[in-house]
């Protein structure tokens, strides 16, 4: 066994505990995941466990990133077993999917296991019929995973996704979330394309669950990438869906985004934009969604500031008081 010290922050350390035979290792007190992962790779070791002596940030701040790195690769790769290399050769987005998991591909393929049936995982990671003595024959899997990464990753691998019967909606949702994340990282065109792909898949199934929310993500990306007309088009569809199916849990955010996009479309749209932001505040307040109320209030404050209007509340009463959130017609 080897113990490797990894400097963390300005005055702390994490530790890698490496098994000499298997090259599996555990991490103790990770504060900066990138340094720990890099150190493990430099020693040819694979991280399989994390130990935290206490939960201060300088001992645990990197745990989530370590877990993300493990879950992203381990589960979807492990159930490919010895077919892994062939399956991954058909991946549709290798530049995004492969750099962080090359080590995992080599490690898991080296186990030379048979591909694991998807049903085995669906049913709670239980034993297979051929397993004896209560020991599972397939290791290196994890029972928790990040949904968007997991399903988005699989959706990029046709040989895998073709066998995932009954999960079409989940793949569509994950494709949208993956596209939004890609756009946030600066991959604008590819991200928007994935969002559209996911939305198209949802439309084919007729699923309405969360469609207004997913369309709001498209509108947000359009706003950030200078496409106000496209963003407003997405919001029109989202508002229609929200009203037709009484799916209003994200309605406040739809109106906030509409106000922001109107301003980006044309600086003279201040009156209509202000109306949308005021409506967003009322809806959020009526629904008791403080986060969306604050978000809309901040957008309105920025608008009023641009109009050189003072908006200092006299006391700790509600910041903005306006009328009923309901209207006789749908203002889209």
Point out the least confidently predicted range of 37-46, 186-195, 224-233, 268-277: 37-46
Q: Which residue has the higher pLDDT, 209 or 22?
A: 22
- pLDDT band at residue 236, thresholds of 50, 70 and 90? very high
The SS3 assignment for 259 reads helix
- pLDDT band at residue 148, thresholds of 50, 70 and 90? very low
Task: Check whether 12 has a pLDDT greater than 80.
Answer: yes
What digits encode the pLDDT tens for the residues 113-146?
665 544 444 433 444 444 455 554 443 333 333 3
Cα-flanking dihedrals φ and ψ of residue 26, to 5°? -110, 155
Average pLDDT (38-42) is: 84
E strand segments, the chain: 2-8, 12-18, 24-28, 46-51
Does the model's pTM come out above 0.75? no
pLDDT at 169: 64
Task: Check whether 53 has a pLDDT greater than 60.
Answer: yes
What digits encode the pLDDT tens for the residues 176-191?
888 888 888 888 998 8
Task: Check whether 60 has a pLDDT greater than 80.
Answer: yes
pLDDT at 67: 60
5, 29 in Cβ contact below 8 A? no
What digits encode the pLDDT tens for the residues 269-291?
899 999 999 999 999 999 988 98
Task: Check whether 55 has a pLDDT greater than 60.
Answer: yes
State how far the Cα of 29 lies from the Cα of 39, in Å rounded to an integer.
14
Task: Check whether 86 has a pLDDT greater than 80.
Answer: no
Residue 230 is inside which H or E element, if any?
helix 228-244
Q: Name, of 70-74, 91-95, 219-223, the range with top average pLDDT.
A: 219-223
Domain boundaries, the chain: 1-61
pLDDT at 147: 40
Q: Which residues are 13's β-sheet partners?
A: 7
At 194, list the tokens: 């994935």
65, 34 in Cβ contact below 8 A? yes
Average pLDDT (150-154) is: 55
State how far the Cα of 269 lies from the Cα of 301, in Å rounded to an integer.
16
pLDDT at 8: 92
Average pLDDT (3-16) is: 93
Q: Tell me the pLDDT of the chain averaged across its residues.
A: 75
């Amino acid at each position: 066994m080897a113990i490797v010290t990894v400097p963390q922050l300005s005055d702390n350390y994490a530790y890698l505990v490496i098994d000499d035979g298997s090259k599996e290792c555990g991490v103790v007190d990770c504060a900066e995941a990138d340094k720990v992962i890099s150190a493990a790779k430099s020693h040819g070791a694979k991280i399989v466990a994390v130990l935290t002596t206490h939960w201060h940030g300088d001992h645990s701040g990197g745990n989530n990133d370590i877990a993300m790195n493990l879950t992203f690769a381990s589960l979807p790769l492990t159930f490919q077993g010895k077919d892994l290399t062939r399956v991954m050769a058909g991946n549709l987005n290798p530049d995004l999917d492969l750099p962080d998991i090359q080590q995992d591909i080599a490690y898991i393929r080296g186990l030379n296991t048979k591909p694991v049936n998807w049903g085995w995982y669906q049913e709670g990671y239980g034993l297979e019929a051929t397993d004896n003595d209560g020991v599972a024959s397939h290791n290196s899997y994890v029972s928790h995973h990040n949904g968007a990464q997991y399903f988005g990753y699989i959706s990029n691998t046709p040989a895998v996704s073709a066998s995932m019967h009954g999960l079409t909606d989940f793949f569509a949702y994950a494709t949208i979330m993956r596209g939004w994340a890609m756009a946030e990282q600066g991959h604008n065109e590819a991200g928007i394309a994935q969002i559209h792909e996911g939305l198209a898949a949802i439309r084919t199934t007729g699923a309405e669950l969360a469609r207004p929310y997913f369309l709001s993500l498209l509108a947000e990306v359009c706003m950030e990438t200078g496409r106000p007309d496209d963003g407003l088009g997405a919001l029109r569809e989202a508002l229609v869906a929200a009203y037709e199916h009484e799916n209003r849990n994200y309605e406040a955010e739809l109106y906030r985004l509409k106000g922001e996009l109107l301003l980006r479309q044309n600086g003279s749209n201040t009156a209509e934009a202000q109306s949308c932001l005021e409506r967003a505040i009322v809806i959020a307040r009526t629904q008791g969604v403080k986060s969306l109320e604050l978000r809309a209030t901040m957008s309105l404050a920025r608008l009023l500031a641009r109009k050189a209007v003072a908006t200092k509340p006299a006391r700790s009463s509600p910041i903005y008081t306006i009328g009923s959130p309901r209207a006789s017609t749908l203002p889209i």
